[in-house]
Amino acid sequence: MNTLSTQTPPFRGGHVGKAAKAFPYLSLLTSLTMLVFGLLPNNEQQLAALSFNYSAIVDQHEYWRLISGHLIHSSWDHLFWDLITFTVAASYLERQSRNLWVCATVVSTLILDLYLLSPLANIEYYAGISGVLYALITLAGLFWYSKEKSLLGLLPLSAIAIKTLFELTAQDAVFVTDGWHLYAPAHLIGASIGITLWLLCRRYRLM
């Protein structure tokens, strides 16, 4: 006759508690790549060779710019703020869900490139990871709020919203003072992608 045991079965696979979170190697590797690009000699020459350039991509088929354009920055100031914010936000998101990190990075890069190539963008040059960063930082903020449903939990999302609204109103970046002019649509597209992916994942219970 089968009987039910009242004893707790031994835990297998390590200590009892929360599952260990993934080491954010993708985020750190991306940050290192941006830093290496920033340390290259003749920054203006490298920027001209690696930034998003509509004519170079369409007419000369320099397709690497569709990726390198998001990794190179127009000034040390631009690189510093993007690098700090990306390393913190992207690492946090990757530790929560590496699959979502990969999905957000790929989707935001693809959509931003398609937008920049379309007549809607109406710009010739673009550089910086801030468009992709907005997708990741929005998701990171939503993850934070899902775990900390309080005023403290709302702080990252509120900061993102206030910064974005200010930049749209002023038509200028909050922190970056050197380099190319702010391209606010990239920030809005990135944030919209982050929100959309979050809603889809919650809707279909993918996380």
pLDDT at residue 122 tops 80: yes
Task: Tell me the CATH class for 25-203.
Answer: mainly alpha
- The enclosing H or E element of 146 equals helix 130-147
Q: What average pLDDT does range 97-103 have in this prediction?
A: 96
Q: 7 pLDDT exceeds 70?
A: no
The residue-averaged pLDDT of 139-166 equals 90
Q: Give CA 2 to chain center in angstroms.
A: 54
Q: At what angle do helices 130-147 and 76-96 cross, to 10 degrees?
A: 40
pLDDT-derived band at 68 (thresholds 50, 70, 90) equals very high
| 173-183 pLDDT tens trace | 777 777 888 89
Q: Looking up tokens 């702080």, which residue turns up?
A: 155
Mean local confidence (pLDDT), 92-107:
97
Mean pLDDT of 178-199: 93
Instruction: Give domain limits for the chain.
Output: 25-203
- Name the pTM for this structure: 0.86
Of 183, 132, 194, nearest to 157 by C-alpha is 194
Per DSSP (E only), the strands in the chain are: 52-53, 125-126
Is residue 186 within 8 Å of 131, Cβ to Cβ? yes
Q: What is the pLDDT of residue 20?
A: 63
Instruction: Examine the pLDDT at 92 and tell me if it is beyond 50.
Output: yes
Structure tokens at 205: 């219970």
Beta bridge partners of 126: 52
- Which tokens in the block code for residue 50? 């690696």
Confidence of residue 140 (pLDDT cuts 50, 70, 90): very high
